[in-house]
Chain A
Amino acid sequence: MRRLIFAAWLCAIVMGLPAEALREGGQAPAPPPPPPRVPAEASREGGPMPAVLRAYAAVDADRLAHPADGDWLMVRRTYDGWGYSPLDRITPANVARLQPVWSFSTGVTNGHEAPPIVNNGVMFVATPGNQVIAINAKTGAILWRYKRPLPEDVVLLHATSRGVGLYRDKVYFAAGEAVLVALNARTGEEVWTTKVAENKAGYYMSVAPLVADGKVIVGASGGEMGIRGFVAAFDADSGKEVWRTYTVPAPGEPGSETWPNGDQWKTGGGPVWVTGTYDPETRLTFWGTGNGGPWMGDQRPGDNLYTSSTIALDVATGAMKGHFQYHPNDSWDWDEVSPPILVDYQRNGRTIKGLIDLARDGYMWFLERTSGPINFVEGRPYVKQNVFMSLDPKTGRPNVDPARQPGTGREAEFCPSHWGGKNWPPVAFSPKTRMVYVPANENLCTAMIGRPVTYTAGRGFTGMTNNLMIAPGADHIGEVQAWNVDTGARVWTHPFAGSTNWGPILTTGGGLVFSGGTQDRLFRAFDAATGDVLWEFPTNSGIIGQPSSFSIDGKQYIAVQSGWGIDSRTMQARLNRVRPGDFPEVPEGGAIWVFAIK
């Protein structure tokens, strides 16, 4: 495998920093040689290893489970998926003075969705184009850059990465062509690579790996091409596969009775493209699964377990210990790939060890996690939803309005749209406000009609045509919503009149919510309690990246990638055809931004 490591600083754009800061390591007196962890030819070009890398703090299981306040070691910072930093130096009182400290051009276009992951001052950022960049988080100086050439004919329908995982002295990256890569955190050198699935058959990866129990856990995208979804774990040291659990059961396995029609399970979908959450207490990891393939439910009779579900897997063995299917026999492209976040909440006077998911089907699901089964507690719509007429009070199974379920040759209109009330961008939860913050798209609906489709490996297997529509009378689309998890009541909503919202959310101990997501390229800070916009800043492109927060020498920073693309771009283009001129093109091109109070 080719690997490219550049120690040049060509793409660094550092504002207000002396030139020396850009040449970290290059001008310093010769330091002692780094420990011989990699062959000599694999070390960085261009001089001695920078001090921040020599001092790299290896990540262990305890640090993953209990990260220092100033670190952001995994995609949502903590296993519970909260997207919450306890750092509290930046507050509603001073956030108006938030300013850029440095920015850094990634050199690529398309959708930049990964968070800046920060370990003790070293930042790792994944971008589209199979790239991982290591940067000095304080100065913006590049440390190393890894680029893995994509095959010429790669099947990669969503050319993005949602982040890297860290463990010991390695960085784990899910390459687009469905290859898992372990890099040396100090040098960017490949340590091992493992083929996860066959890209020519439509499997590709965009997920950030989850590191737990000494394993690196990933899933694959490709539901549009009739893959059979799975979650798989690999030994963190060797890359050897430890277990693989399919999201669509084979004949004879539990749940296979929900695939009564021959070999359809082989192409049944259920892709996985968002990192799961993990409960160290029960050692269960929770993953969301995508919709079935092909897209029309009438072409694959049955409930189609475990599509559009959350599954609970034993981290040691991969055994499925529980599941909850949000809606059976999906016909709306409602991938439910966001994993539920782990939040213990109050209901009827008791504390429930909970799971909460803001699903693409437009419902907010309150569930209960146990050492195995997942129990339904309640569900309610958080955007316009005209498909579910009711939920079974015991099981949560929706009673679907057949007039709102498209089929083969049968068009149906439904809300929310096939992109869902919320797509992949993650929610955040603050233990201080007890609120979950939701990037939603309200007032969108879809008309969809199915057509017969034949499976060909690696080719489209959706079998449908759709039109996106804006609900009559709509005065906005994008929203940030805040819900109190203990009362189940909505506390505030911030609408975006002229834009959709594709912005992942960060919340902080300082009482703020950070998010972008809109077509005006703004990155915003909201008052977490009230929803008031306290600060905003126009970046280079639209922000669909996951914001993070870290601290160095006691100073708090906010970091995010700006780089519009993929589904946000598609939705904007389609809306601009529905209402020409109202949803203008957003400039593309990726950059990392880091902000602090000056």
Chain B
Amino acid sequence: MSVDRRALLLSAIGVSLGFAQDDPASVRPKPGDLLTKVGDAGKTPLTPNDIPLAAGYTAAWAMDPADNTVRSGSRLNQVLLLRFDPASLATTTREHAADGVVAYTSICTHNGCDIDQWLAKEQQLFCSCHESIFDPRDGGKVLDGPAPRALPALPLAIADGALVVAKPFTTPVGYERG
């Protein structure tokens, strides 16, 4: 690769990264964002009552309340919403919950697979790729498997009856990529 070509490529990548960082669909969820179910073409804002109590997760995207831009441009933005009796939540988790609804990244902190199963009996999240298990009632902490750290949580609040993002992810969304 010649110098000029590399410079050109690096410049193109810079442009592309800059675009990704500014793209409202790709930026991480922001405080004030609404939440909408993955695959909901109607972009309906979710409320606590839309999330079944202690019965699995609802996959969702954050949505800019100004223009209903769904932040689905990066798979790292997807979250899992779960609802529990607030009394059953660990203290910090309760602080991040809204009406018992908690939100975590759907991306396993191990190798970045999508967390894809709900262990109903144990009330735990399970990633079938490499068998990591997480506790959604206690900060998404790792209960078993190779995941090196807890799932980043997305603190929630209620605004006009709808679930909204209260704060950015508690820790960076990401994973070991080898």
A255 part of interface (Cβ distance < 8 Å): no
A351 part of interface (Cβ distance < 8 Å): no
B130 part of interface (Cβ distance < 8 Å): yes
A458 part of interface (Cβ distance < 8 Å): yes
Q: Kindly identify, within residues 1 to 33 of chain B, every residue whose CB is under 8 Å from any CB belonging to chain A.
A: 1-3, 9-10, 13
Residue of A nearest to B9 (CB): A1
Contact at A108–B129, with CB atoms within 8 Å?
no
A263 part of interface (Cβ distance < 8 Å): no
**Contacting residue for B111 out of A39, A130, A157, A573, CB 8 A:** A157
Contact at A155–B129, with CB atoms within 8 Å?
no
**Contacting residue for A465 out of B13, B117, B146, B174, CB 8 A:** B117
Complexed CA–CA distance, A458 and B113 (Å): 10
CB distance from A418 to the nearest CB of B (A): 11
CB distance from A275 to the nearest CB of B (A): 19
Complexed CA–CA distance, A462 and B13 (Å): 34
Interface centre among B3, B117, B176, B177, by most A CB within 10 Å? B177
CB distance from B158 to the nearest CB of A (A): 29
CB distance from A456 to the nearest CB of B (A): 8
Complexed CA–CA distance, A565 and B111 (Å): 11
CB distance from B110 to the nearest CB of A (A): 9
In which size bucket is the chain A interface?
35 or more
CB distance from B18 to the nearest CB of A (A): 14
Residue of A nearest to B20 (CB): A152
Q: Which A residues lie within 8 Å of B116 (CB)?
A: 460
**Contacting residue for B130 out of A156, A190, A566, CB 8 A:** A566
B145 part of interface (Cβ distance < 8 Å): yes
Contact at A577–B130, with CB atoms within 8 Å?
no
Q: Which B residues lie within 8 Å of A459 (CB)?
A: 75, 114
Contact at A110–B178, with CB atoms within 8 Å?
yes
Residue of B nearest to A190 (CB): B1
**Contacting residue for B128 out of A2, A108, A462, CB 8 A:** A462
Contact at A574–B131, with CB atoms within 8 Å?
yes
Flag A96-119 by CB within 8 Å of B: 1 or 0 each: 000000000000111000000000
**Contacting residue for A129 out of B9, B117, B177, CB 8 A:** B177
Q: Which A residues lie within 8 Å of B114 (CB)?
A: 459-460
Q: Is the interface of A mostly helix, strand, loop or mixed?
A: loop
A281 part of interface (Cβ distance < 8 Å): no
A460-B113, A465-B117, A573-B131 in contact; A159/B177 too (CB < 8 A)? yes
Q: Which B residues lie within 8 Å of A62 (CB)?
A: none
Q: Kindly identify, within residues 465 to 506 of chain A, every residue whose CB is under 8 Å from any CB belonging to chain B.
A: 465
**Contacting residue for A2 out of B10, B75, B111, B146, CB 8 A:** B10
CB distance from A367 to the nearest CB of B (A): 33
CB distance from B3 to the nearest CB of A (A): 6
**Contacting residue for A153 out of B10, B75, B128, B144, CB 8 A:** B75
A150-B177, A159-B176 in contact; A458/B75 too (CB < 8 A)? yes
Interface centre among B10, B111, B113, by most A CB within 10 Å? B111
A13 part of interface (Cβ distance < 8 Å): no
**Contacting residue for A154 out of B130, B144, B177, CB 8 A:** B177
A521 part of interface (Cβ distance < 8 Å): no
Flag B107-119 by CB within 8 Å of A: 1 or 0 each: 0000111101100
CB distance from A384 to the nearest CB of B (A): 23
CB distance from B168 to the nearest CB of A (A): 16
CB distance from A107 to the nearest CB of B (A): 11
CB distance from A437 to the nearest CB of B (A): 28
The chain A residues found within 8 Å of chain B, CB to CB, are 1-2, 39, 41, 108-110, 127-131, 150, 152-160, 176, 189-192, 200, 224, 456, 458-460, 462, 465, 565-566, 569-570, 573-574, 577
Q: List 23 A-B contacts (CB under 8 A).
A: A39-B3, A110-B178, A128-B177, A152-B76, A152-B174, A153-B112, A156-B177, A156-B178, A157-B111, A157-B113, A158-B111, A159-B111, A176-B177, A190-B1, A200-B75, A458-B75, A459-B114, A460-B128, A465-B117, A465-B128, A573-B130, A573-B131, A577-B144
The chain B residues found within 8 Å of chain A, CB to CB, are 1-3, 9-10, 13, 39, 74-76, 111-114, 116-117, 128-131, 144-146, 174, 176-178
